[in-house]
Each structure stands twice: as C-alpha cells, then as structure tokens.
C-alpha cells in the first residue's frame, strides 16, 4: 500500500466509432479533476490494415504524443487504454461523428467529452543530426520499498533536444518529456505531467549523467548510464516461454452479465484428445493484465505454460478495465471481481475441450480471497489453489505487512512496531468513521507532514475507495467455512505481504470448522509473496530476482491438481 509510485499521470487516451474512418482527425476535451482543468487533444489516424492508432496531448501539462495502447470500436462505442498510466476511456460517438461522450477511469471515474477540433495543434519534431548524447540512458531509483529502473531516450531534432521516458518495472513506455535543456555539462529533463524531473551533470567521456530525480517534493539520487546494447534494457527472465508453444493458445472473450461487461483472455489447451481438466487464474490486487505482469515478470504466463504442458487447460484474463477487457477497474471491489471469475468458469464449461466436472480456480494474493468466494457458492468449482491467499481480515494483514516490511527495510523492532501502530490507528479510523467528509478531514490531519500534499491526497483517495473499504472489512474465513471442494493453500516462508504464520493457521481453522476434509496447507521454504526464491522477502527484491516462480511451487501445484 505504501510503495513509491513514480508514474502518477492524470491523462487520457484515444477512440473509435461506427465508421472508423469518421474518427480520423483531432479531438479535444477537458478533464475536470477537482479544481484543476486539463485540456486534452486526441490525435487519431489510420494504421495498417484499416485499424486505428492514436496519441494524446495533455496541453496544460506540456505532454505531447502520449502513446495510446489499444483502441476498439463496436456499435459506435469507443474504448481506449493507456497502459502506461493504467487509465481507460469509454464513450459513445454521436451520429454526426462530431462528439464522443464518455468516462475516463484512473483511480476514479471522471466524465470526459471529446469534440472534433478544427485547429488542434500537434507537435511533430523533424529529426536532425544526432547530438553527442543521443540514445538511451538508464538508471535505477532506490525508492525504499522498491527499486525502479528509468530509461530516457534522447533525440536531437530541428527544434532541439527531445526525449521520452520508460519505467520498465512499471510497464510504462514512451512517456513524453516536456522539455530537455542542456547547458554544457548540465542537463535538465522536465516532465510536467507527473510533476517530476531530472537534473544532472554529463561526464566528460559522455558515458554517465549524475544527478537527482525530483517528484512531488521527493528527491532521490539518480545516476544514468549510456545504454550501449539494447539487451541491457531487458531484465533476464529465463522462465518466460518462447513461441512456438507445444500446445494451442487462443485469444478469447466472454461476457459477465452481472456487470454488463466483456472480458478478454487467453485460453491454452494441451495437445491431444480432451476433454481436459482446466483452471482459471485469478490475479492479485491492483489493475493486472492476464499475465499478472510486474517488474518484467509475467507469473501467470509462466504458470499457464507449465500447467498446460502437464495436460491442464488454462484460462487467464485481463482484469476489468485493463488491456482488452471492458468495464471500469477503479470502481470495483473484491466482490465485483468475484463475478468476473464466475463468468470465466461459465465460459470454460462451454468449451468442448474442457471437462466441465474438473474446473478449478488458482488465485494469487487477492485472487486467493476471490477463489474461495466463488467456490463457496458455485458447485461447479472442483478445486481451489490459494497462492498467498489470506485467512484474516484486511486490516490485520496490512498491520502485519507494515511491520514486516519496515523491519526488512532496516528499522529496529521498536521502530517497526511504532510504524505498525500508526497504520493500525489509521485503519481503525477508516473502519469506524462513517461520515466521509469527517473521515477525510481527520485523515488529512494525521497524514500532514508525512509527504507532499499530492501524495497525501492520493493516499486519502486510496484509503476511502470502495475497494479499500471492502478489503478492510472482508473476513476470508466466512466463505472458507462454506468451501467443500478440495483446497490447496500455499504461502512462501518469506512472504512479507501475506505472512504465512498469520494466515495459514487461520485458513486451516476455517476449513476445519466448515467440515472440509480435503485440504492441504503448506509453507514453502525460502519463497516470497511472488513465490520466488528470495533472500529477505522484501518487495525490493522482486525485480532483481531472475526467477519468476519457483519450480518447487510449480510442481507442487501441478502434482496436486492432477490428483484431484
């Protein structure tokens, strides 16, 4: 909950209509975010094959050419996403193709109307002779709970130096740098859209830049080194499977009638004659794609590949509002996401390659809460695997998490306990204060001085969101007592986010109280929250570890599923 978030953009993206050709051109709209107004210009063009492509300018933030990740159009309904900021837009194009009325979602939902712009400006920089600092420059921000790589791509143009920035460990690419200023050995890169920037000194041999990154009042040292080989930009992830796969993989979609949305997914089917047992993978908290991608790792891709090679069909989906899935992620709760999982089960039952009596669920982290919720009320679920699923309410999880991560960061036991007590007091306030205005006022008092105002605002928004309210009060033991199908609950010994000593006994007790006699709980030695082989279990290690999922954990799950 307290990870330093480097990329916090309030931006928007691009669109599509009944007739795609009608949307080609420039569109302008204004996003009203409290007292702030952000003018946005959407540039839509035709891509190869007749599809659409787009970029977005945020005029008031000085950000031009923000990449739009996906654009879809169906029955005059426009949808686009900006993966770099986990944002999405959905709107309806009017009959005259002159206006698009819709909603931008990113942490919260805001109305946004695009109108065709006759004189919208777009900045295109014509290339010039490369400067001596043209190219990619990479460094690592040590943000306490996490280390984040940043890459600046600098290019000389007829208008001077320009740049874009990538945050590879946050899956953010092509973020525009507002301005690049060089004065001899001094360089300054400004990014107004995220309230951030970099100032440094270029070494005489033009191989390093040594300086500081500043954002929202926080300043961190940052040394950038010239990238000589593009391979340096990629983390080594040896477990990622490489095509062609020895099985069939298919992009699919299916409806969730309860939410009136369509979810996009990948189904992998083993070779040979079915029907096969099948599993649905359920992601952890936060907006996740179907691979549960983070910090260069793609855990669900690795897990799906392993299980499919062992004869198990696997369905993995983009979360609602993420990637190619419909809906709005920001307004959802764990209970809402459970209906998305149920829709996945229904889809698997319809596939002729799948044995409808052998469909199970594998949930990671929050997915380990969702899986029992679904299994408790759905007799079609044949088994459940909880990967770092919790057995106690969310407030207890967060207090324990706060203490353990503080200790891993170097705090003494006394300091870590103080941090945990502060967390406990704030969570208790959130649980008990039902007056929203009074809650926000009190939270602002308690968080005053804990960080820049923008950071405090973001924390208050998170603490008062529907998802957080549900998570704090949700007791996983309640649905666990109703689960009668076989259950495998796994935790890593070094998991600091869902501590095994706190949660595995609670899971075991709830299943026993419900009369379930077909379950196993196991603490896997040396593994962290992501089931990587780890030294400390701290989230700072996640990106540094090459292993995505321990072979021990993979084999444990595969063996257990095939026995059911």
DSSP 392-410: S-HHHHHHHHHHHHHHHTT
Mean pLDDT of 131-160: 89
Burial 133-144 (b: 16+ CB within 10 A, else e): bbebbbbbbebb
The pLDDT tens digits for 200-252 are 999 999 999 999 999 877 889 999 999 988 777 778 899 999 999 999 999 99
Asked if the model's pLDDT at residue 10 lies above 70, the reply is no
Exposure of 129 by Cβ count < 10 A (0-12 exposed, 13-18 middle, 19+ buried)?
A: exposed
pLDDT of residue 14: 29
User: Which distant-in-sequence residues (6+ apart) come within 8 Å of 159 by Cβ?
Assistant: 125, 126
CA distances from 153 to 59, 165, 189, 225, 375 (A): 22, 6, 11, 12, 48
Please give the share of the chain, as a percent, with pLDDT higher than 70. Answer: 91
pLDDT of residue 8: 30
CA of residue 187 relative to chain centroid, distance: 32
The CA distance from 112 to 103, in Å, is 5
Asked if the model's pLDDT at residue 18 lies above 60, the reply is no
Asked if the model's pLDDT at residue 49 lies above 80, the reply is no
Asked if the model's pLDDT at residue 13 lies above 50, the reply is no
Mean pLDDT of 360-384: 97
- Decide the pairing of beta strands 354-364 and 381-387: parallel
Class of domain 248-392+476-563: alpha beta
For residue 64, the SS3 value is strand
The CA distance from 296 to 254, in Å, is 28
For residues 19 and 125, which has the higher predicted lDDT (pLDDT)? 125
Looking up tokens 């309640």 gives: 478
For residues 345 and 408, which has the higher predicted lDDT (pLDDT)? 345
Residue 309: name the closest of 524, 561, 529 by CA: 561
Mean pLDDT of 480-500: 97
> Mean pLDDT, the chain, as a whole number?
88
For residues 309 and 158, which has the higher predicted lDDT (pLDDT)? 309
Q: Given pLDDT bands bounded at 50, 70 and 90, which one contains residue 467?
A: very high
- Decide the pairing of beta strands 354-364 and 276-282: parallel
Mean pLDDT of 316-322: 93
Mean pLDDT of 254-279: 96
pLDDT of residue 7: 31
The pLDDT tens digits for 87-97 are 788 888 887 78
Asked if the model's pLDDT at residue 34 lies above 80, the reply is no
The CA distance from 358 to 353, in Å, is 12
Q: Report the alpha-carbon angle 206-208-213, nearest 5.
A: 130
Least confident range from 20-29, 244-253, 425-434: namely 20-29
Mean pLDDT of 36-64: 79
pLDDT of residue 268: 98
User: What CATH architecture is 20-116?
Assistant: Beta Barrel (2.40)
- Decide the pairing of beta strands 87-93 and 99-105: antiparallel
Mean pLDDT of 344-357: 97
pLDDT of residue 58: 79
Indicate if 248-392+476-563 has the same CATH topology as 20-116: no
Q: Given pLDDT bands bounded at 50, 70 and 90, which one contains residue 372?
A: very high
Asked if the model's pLDDT at residue 9 lies above 50, the reply is no
Is the overall model pTM greater than 0.85, yes or no? Answer: no
Which strands, in side-by-side order, build the sheet including 52-58?
Answer: 63-67, 52-58, 36-46, 25-33, 109-116, 99-105, 87-93, 77-82, 70-74
Contact 362, 394 (CB under 8 A): no
Residue 387: name the closest of 527, 491, 481 by CA: 491
Residue boundaries of the structural domains of the chain: 20-116, 135-228, 248-392+476-563, 395-471
Q: Given pLDDT bands bounded at 50, 70 and 90, which one contains residue 452?
A: low
pLDDT of residue 215: 85
Tokens in use for 483?
A: 């689960």
Q: Given pLDDT bands bounded at 50, 70 and 90, which one contains residue 363?
A: very high
Q: Given pLDDT bands bounded at 50, 70 and 90, which one contains residue 36?
A: low
- Considering 111-115, 329-333, 360-364, 536-540, the range whose residues carry the highest mean pLDDT is 360-364
pLDDT of residue 494: 97
Least confident range from 122-131, 141-150, 171-180, 450-459: namely 450-459
Asked if the model's pLDDT at residue 11 lies above 50, the reply is no
Asked if the model's pLDDT at residue 35 lies above 60, the reply is no
Q: What is the 3-state secondary structure (H, E, C) of 237-280?
A: CCCCCCCCCCCEEEEEEEEECCCCEEEEEEEEECCCCCCEEEEE
Q: What are phi and psi of 456, to 5 degrees?
A: -65, -45
pLDDT of residue 16: 32
Please give the share of the chain, as a percent, with pLDDT higher than 90. Answer: 58
Q: What is the 3-state secondary structure (H, E, C) of 79-127?
A: EEEEHHHCEEEEEEECCCCCEEEEEEECCCEEEEEEEECCCCCCCCCCE
The pLDDT tens digits for 503-534 are 999 999 999 999 999 999 999 999 999 999 99
Asked if the model's pLDDT at residue 121 lies above 60, the reply is no
Asked if the model's pLDDT at residue 17 lies above 60, the reply is no
Asked if the model's pLDDT at residue 68 lies above 60, the reply is yes
Tokens in use for 349?
A: 């039952």
Look at the domain 135-228 and name its fold.
Lipocalin (2.40.128)
Contact 175, 190 (CB under 8 A): no
pLDDT of residue 19: 60
Asked if the model's pLDDT at residue 86 lies above 70, the reply is no
Looking up tokens 């203490």 gives: 403
């Amino acid at each position: 909950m307290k990870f330093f978030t480097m990329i916090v953009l309030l931006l928007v993206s691009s669109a599509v209509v009944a007739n795609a050709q009608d949307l080609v051109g420039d569109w302008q709209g204004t996003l009203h975010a409290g007292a702030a107004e952000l003018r946005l210009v959407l540039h839509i063009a035709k891509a190869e094959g007749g599809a659409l492509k787009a970029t977005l300018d945020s005029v008031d933030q000085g950000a031009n050419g923000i990449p739009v990740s996906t654009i879809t159009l169906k029955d005059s309904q426009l949808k686009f996403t900006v993966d770099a900021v986990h944002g999405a837009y959905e709107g309806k194009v009017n009959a005259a193709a002159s206006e698009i009325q819709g909603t931008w979602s990113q942490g919260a939902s805001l109305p946004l109307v695009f109108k065709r712009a006759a004189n919208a400006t777009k900045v295109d920089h014509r290339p010039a002779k490369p400067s001596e600092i043209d190219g990619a420059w990479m460094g690592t921000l040590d943000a306490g709970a996490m280390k984040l790589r940043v890459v600046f791509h600098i290019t000389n143009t007829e208008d001077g130096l320009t740049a874009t920035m990538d945050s590879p460990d946050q899956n953010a690419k092509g973020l525009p740098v507002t301005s690049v200023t060089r004065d001899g050995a001094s360089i300054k890169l400004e990014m107004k859209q995220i309230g951030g920037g970099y100032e440094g000194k270029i070494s005489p041999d033009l191989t390093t830049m040594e300086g500081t990154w500043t954002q929202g009042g926080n300043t961190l040292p940052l040394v950038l080194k010239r990238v000589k080989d593009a391979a340096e930009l990629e983390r080594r992830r040896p477990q990622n499977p490489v095509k062609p796969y020895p099985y069939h993989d298919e992009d699919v979609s299916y409806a969730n009638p309860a939410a009136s949305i369509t979810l996009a997914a990948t189904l992998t089917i083993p070779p040979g004659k079915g029907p096969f047992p099948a599993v649905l993978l359920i992601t952890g908290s936060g907006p996740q794609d179907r691979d549960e991608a983070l910090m260069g790792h793609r855990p669900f891709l690795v897990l799906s590949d392993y299980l499919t090679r062992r004869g198990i069909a696997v369905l993995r989906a983009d979360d609602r509002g993420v990637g190619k899935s419909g809906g709005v992620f920001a307004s959802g709760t764990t209970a809402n996401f459970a209906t998305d999982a149920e829709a996945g089960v229904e889809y698997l039952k319809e596939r002729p390659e799948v044995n409808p009596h052998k469909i199970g669920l594998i949930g990671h982290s929050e997915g380990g809460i969702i899986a029992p919720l679904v299994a408790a009320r759905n007799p079609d679920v044949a088994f459940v695997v909880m990967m770092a699923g919790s057995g106690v309410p969310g407030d207890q999880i967060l207090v324990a998490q706060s203490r353990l991560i503080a200790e891993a960061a170097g705090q003494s036991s006394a300091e870590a306990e103080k941090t945990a007590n502060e967390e406990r007091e704030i969570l208790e306030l959130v649980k008990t204060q039902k007056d929203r205005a009074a809650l926000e006022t009190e939270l602002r008092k308690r968080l005053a001085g804990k960080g820049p105002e923008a950071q405090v605002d973001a924390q208050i928004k998170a603490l008062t969101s529907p998802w957080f309210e549900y998570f704090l009060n949700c007791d996983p033991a309640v649905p666990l007592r109703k689960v009668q199908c076989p259950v495998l609950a796994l935790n890593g010994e070094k998991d600091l986010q869902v501590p095994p000593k706190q949660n595995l006994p609670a899971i075991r007790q709830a299943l026993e109280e419900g009369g379930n006699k077909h379950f196993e709980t196991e603490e896997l030695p040396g593994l962290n929250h992501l089931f990587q082989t780890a030294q400390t279990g701290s989230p700072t290690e996640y990106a540094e570890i090459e292993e995505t999922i321990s072979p021990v954990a993979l084999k444990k799950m595969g063996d257990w599923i095939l026995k059911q």
